[in-house]
Chain A
Amino acid sequence: MAEQEQMPQPARSGTLKMMSRATYIREALLKNTFLVCAIVAVAAVALIFVFTMWRGWPVVQEPGLADFLGGTEFSSSLDLYGILPLVSGTLVITLGALLLGAPLAIGTAVFLSEIASPQMRRIVRPAVEMLAGVPSVVYGFFGLVIVRPIVAEMTGGMGFGTLTASLILAVMIVPTIATLTEDALGSVPPGIREASYAMGATTWQTIHKVLLPAARIGIIDATILGMGRAIGETMAVVMVAGNAPQFFKGLGEPIATITSQIVIDMSYASGTHRTALFGMAIILFLISMGLVALVRALSRLNEKRA
């Protein structure tokens, strides 16, 4: 701040002496272009939010907030729009994905940042990054054809449901969590690592007692962002979850999530049903806003400590 004040203010129109008119125009044009980019990004979020609220708000009158948030049956043909089973389905599947995916991703990140040789890193890192690039319908198809029969063997039933969906989502969130965790580990000051080794600690002791605690908040951040991805994922879930809007009955029993119900219903929904779908979109919006807020709060905490 102090540095900026001492610097001479850039010349504005009128007092322009140092720049040719053409340069000035080019600079102004560029500056405004980037400003427009930023405004578009913000406006897009704001517009989507306003539109979703506008279309979903009537849910308060019809079917009514209590029936919407607290209802235990979701069936458009019966005019029942209780989203409790869908919310619980979303949470159960997401929790499963985190339990399976987060350790895998954090382990991968530790391996990449602390253990792997440069050659090894050159193979593993692109592989992990490629996981993020695979289209979600491919994950869904893989889940349907390969994972579902295996789960069916394990749990009985048809293999649609929580376990299959969580397994697929666990793989899908690995790149998000692993990349961000690797960043967090990489930003631990090298002196701490060297000090630990200098005191005679082994690699495992250094990772476990020094590095992971030091990068803790970054890792939690990474996990929360991975959670956001798991909650929002739709296509793959539709293909393997079984989409029965019922409460969790077992790992191998069909279950539905908010996103899968929206995508199945949106092609034909009208009236109250459509309103309810927008209402569900509001819930998703609020959840992801909450997650982003949590991440921001944690990073602020991290900055303060550092």
Chain B
Amino acid sequence: MIALALVPVVATALLSGCSDGGITHQEVIVTGSTTLLPIAEVAGEMYAEGHEGTSILVSGLGSSAGIESVSKGSSDIGTSSRELKEEEFDLGLDDTPVAFDAIAVIVNPDNPVTGLTTEEVRAIFAGEITNWREVGGPDMEIGLVNRDEASGTREAFHKIVMGDSLFDRGAVVLPGTGQVRAVVAQVEGAIGYISLGFVNEEVRAIAIDGIEPSEATVVSGEYPVQRVLHFFTEGEMSDATADYIEYVLSPDVQDAIVRDAGFIPITAKEGLGG
């Protein structure tokens, strides 16, 4: 399918190359969020395959580094898993949202608790609530599963849910989404959080403030633990940059690569008429 879809792209690229009188080398430099790395990188590789003479150079140094780098002109696209901060508003960056990311709070399927408020989730992860009884569940100790400090998911979860509270230092720290999911699937009293795209039947994503996490509630903005992933650019874009961003927003990338990476396509919003 993908190969077939690329054929016309390759043909166009070759034709346009001819009309220009030879292929000139172009580079698009993409810097920023590690969360966005899989999307930007895979899309970049696929784009470069179809566009000879164009290379997409992707690096992940963190959202802030991406924003700084694009505003200084040292990269063409700054990727960010967070909104601009107040002091970044007057940098004059143009925002292209490329995907939604929702964080699901997951529990063991045997756990009868189906929903928590944001405040309860905060208190649980801060170590203030330690038994499921306190949130209307059975008398069972809560097993906290946290991500390591390198995790963008942990950072986002901290920002959205925890506010000024600190994570309980006694929580089990696991270095990957898959491990968090596996442990929550095995331990009856466990609770953890992972990107919505990675929730499967082994674990159960609970409702937050009465809203079930799903593509619909994320896109409509109802589900509270979510964020938008951005591409920031400054001023006039080069043709290659504009073309690459257009490619990232195309159904090929949105429906395949974005979903594979565990995120929700930004185009899903248009589908709902929002």
A residues contacting B by CB (< 8 A) are: 73, 75-78, 144, 149, 152, 156-160, 238-239, 242-246, 249, 253-254, 256, 264-265, 267-268
18 contacts between A and B (CB under 8 A): A73-B169, A75-B149, A75-B169, A77-B149, A77-B158, A152-B187, A156-B141, A242-B173, A243-B148, A243-B174, A243-B175, A244-B170, A244-B172, A246-B169, A246-B170, A264-B148, A264-B149, A264-B150
Residue-wise, chain B 169-181 has the 8 Å CB interface mask toward A (1 for contact) of 1111111000100
A135 to B141, CA, bound (A): 34
Q: Chain A contacts of B175 at CB under 8 A? A: 238, 243, 264
Chain B residues with CB under 8 A of A149 = 186
Q: A77-B158, A158-B172, A265-B148 are in contact. List 13 more A-B contacts (CB 8 A).
A: A75-B149, A77-B155, A157-B143, A158-B143, A158-B183, A242-B172, A243-B174, A244-B170, A246-B170, A264-B148, A264-B173, A265-B149, A268-B34
- Taking CB as reference atom, which chain A residue is nearest B183? A158
Question: Does B28 lie at the interface of the complex (its beta carbon under 8 Å from any beta carbon of A)?
Answer: no
Contact A254 B170 (CB under 8 A): yes
Chain B residue contacts of A158, Cβ below 8 A: 143, 145, 172, 183, 187, 189-190
Q: Is the CB of A249 within 8 A of B150?
A: no
Q: Which residues on B sit within 8 Å (CB–CB) of A159?
A: 187
Q: Which residues of A contact B174 (CB under 8 A)?
A: 243
Residues of B within 8 A of A (CB): 34, 141, 143, 145, 148-150, 155, 158, 166, 169-175, 179, 182-183, 186-187, 189-190
**Taking chain A's interface residues, is the majority helix, strand, or loop, or is none over half, making it mixed?**
loop
A245-B169 contact given A157-B141, A158-B183, A264-B150, CB 8 Å threshold: yes
Return the 10 tightest CB-CB contacts between A and B, nearest first: A243-B173, A268-B150, A242-B172, A158-B143, A160-B172, A254-B172, A264-B148, A76-B149, A246-B169, A158-B187
Q: How far is the CA of A63 from the CA of B182 in the complex (A)?
A: 36
Question: Min CB distance, A149 to chain B, in Å?
Answer: 7
B169: A residues at CB distance < 8 A: 73, 75, 244-246
Bound CA–CA A245/B166 (angstroms): 14
* Interface contact B150-A265, CB-CB below 8 Å: yes
On whether the beta carbons of A243 and B172 are closer than 8 Å, the reply is yes
Residues on B with C-beta less than 8 A from A75 are 149, 169
* Complex CA–CA separation, A89 to B27 (angstroms): 49
Nearest Cβ in chain B — how far from A266, in angstroms?
9
A249 CB to closest chain B CB, in angstroms?
7
Considering the chains assembled together, what is the distance between the CA atoms of A152 and B187 in angstroms?
9
Cβ of A242: which chain B residues have Cβ within 8 Å of it? Answer: 172-173
C-alpha spacing A84/B186, complex, angstroms:
32
Give B169's nearest chain A residue, CB to CB. A246
Residue in A closest to B171 when the chains form the complex, CB atoms: A244
CB < 8 Å neighbour of B170 from A156, A239, A249? A249
Using Cβ atoms and an 8 Å threshold, which residues of chain A touch B141? 156-157
Residue of A77, A246, A249 with highest tally of chain B CB at under 10 A = A77
Q: Let me know if A267 and B150 touch, CB within 8 A.
A: yes
Neighbouring A residues of B143 by C-beta, 8 Å: 157-158
Nearest B-chain residue to A245, judged by Cβ: B169
Q: Are B149 and A253 in contact (CB under 8 A)?
A: no
**Shortest distance in angstroms between A151's beta carbon and chain B's nearest beta carbon?**
12
